Amino acid sequence: MKDTPLSNCERQFLLKAVEEKKRVDGRQTYDYRNIKITFGTEYGCCIVDLGKTRILAQVSCELVPPKDSRPTEGILFFNLELSPMASPAFELGRQSELLVKLNRQLERCLRNSKCIDTESLCVISGEKVWQIRVDVHVLNHDGNLMDAASIAAIAALSHFRRPEVAIQGRDITVFTPEERDPIPLSIYHMPICVSFAFFQQGTYLLVDPCEREERVMDGLLVIAMNKHREICSIQSSGGIMLLKEQVLRCSKIASVKVSEITELINKALDNDKRARKEGGKFGFAESMPKERITALKKDEAPVEMTDVQDTANEIISRTEAQPDIVKVPSPVVPAPGTGQVGEGLLNTWGLEEEEDEEEEQHEKEEMSTGEVMVLSDSEEDDVVILNPDANKPKRLEGGSKKGVEAPKKQKTSH
């Protein structure tokens, strides 16, 4: 199933809004949508809401043999899935071009940037290491999947705890969380992606494009950076030519956004840690009562209404003069319950019913006078004898005797 394409009117409206430095949801050019980070009951489960875009990240681990080229390093594996529940354009079990691109960007952002100490994941050199698997599921698609996926993945990795192990010779003992406290991963920095959408061959720029803005954009620039202003990766798509000044400007904007998002992630981690320590509600149990299914929630979008009157007057002045209005003659009422406008045949609404009532009344009068009604046009009518035994009369209720033999054939004259 393919997604519904944009009409020409919608496309022109979005491009016109970008030219006037306005956005459909009321944001400014460099504004992000509201970011909400929620952790699950188990360690390593995180849900990130970027506006209406929702992504779930789950981290798991297992002991596996290491790679031959790196026997003392653990393995970091990423798997991103685009569920048909998120968008009608996504198909289950099929690797689309968008899925491959997002998976590669996520690996380039987190694994190639060496944000996690993989040597600390080694248990026995050359035999057993920890494999950290990050599964990223897109629950709802409303644009800018790369930024939301990077935030969810790094937040889930920061929240994850691996089990404690003990080594005795070649024997490895894995302790449960009840026996020993799990150990967090060693994370050096938090690389976060910031997406920039370009319109009209790089003339206009938007941060955090929504799904409709992504449809009309000419190109996309994704910069992965940490709070130390170290660029981890840069990815450009769409075939647009960008100047050096444009890339530097985007990197400066990205440094500010990454600092704000990193602070938000650390604050969410601290809140979850404090809630677990105090024994209160934590994880999804805390956010469930606030988001009831039956609750009616609607975000308010500010609309600028300063130049509405001037715009209306301008539109009215540019409209053509209306043609002369054809005058409709007044309605004619020939009888009660009827109506006629203009020339033509008279409507008989209500008159037919009166005629039918007159005919029924006339029939009743004829029946009461006892007149014989001829119902057939034929000259002779055959008379059928209902009871051939005519010698036996029957006494009726009125006390009179009548024979059952029908009279002989008689001619009716018209």
**Element (DSSP H or E) covering residue 390:** none
Indicate whether 292 belongs to any domain.
yes
What is the pLDDT, as a whole number, of residue 401?
Answer: 45
Vertex 358: Cα angle to 352 and 362 (nearest 5): 145
Determine the Cα–Cα distance for residues 238 and 199; give it in Å rounded to an integer.
Answer: 11
C-alpha closest to that of 206 among 17, 9, 13: 17
Determine the Cα–Cα distance for residues 110 and 363; give it in Å rounded to an integer.
Answer: 98
In tens, the pLDDT along 256-296 reads 999 999 999 999 999 888 888 887 666 665 555 555 555 55
Indicate whether 155 belongs to any domain.
yes
pLDDT at 324 over 80: no
Indicate whether 309 belongs to any domain.
no
Determine the Cα–Cα distance for residues 215 and 44; give it in Å rounded to an integer.
Answer: 33
In tens, the pLDDT along 96-147 reads 888 899 999 999 999 888 899 989 898 888 888 999 999 999 999 988 999 9
Would you place residue 366 in the very low, low, confident or very high pLDDT band (cuts 50, 70, 90)? Answer: low
Helix 145-159 to helix 97-110 angle (10° resolution) is 40
How many domains would you assign to the chain?
Answer: 1
What pTM does this model have?
0.68
Indicate whether 188 belongs to any domain.
yes
pLDDT at 311 over 60: yes
CATH (domain of 145): 3.30.230.70
pLDDT at 402 over 50: no
Would you place residue 50 in the very low, low, confident or very high pLDDT band (cuts 50, 70, 90)? Answer: very high
Instruction: Find the domain containing 107 and state its range.
Output: 21-302
Indicate whether 3 belongs to any domain.
no
The mean pLDDT of 338-353, rounded to a whole number, is 55
Determine the Cα–Cα distance for residues 275 and 283; give it in Å rounded to an integer.
Answer: 9
Indicate whether 5 belongs to any domain.
no
In tens, the pLDDT along 147-159 reads 999 999 999 999 9
Indicate whether 13 belongs to any domain.
no
The mean pLDDT of 240-244, rounded to a whole number, is 85
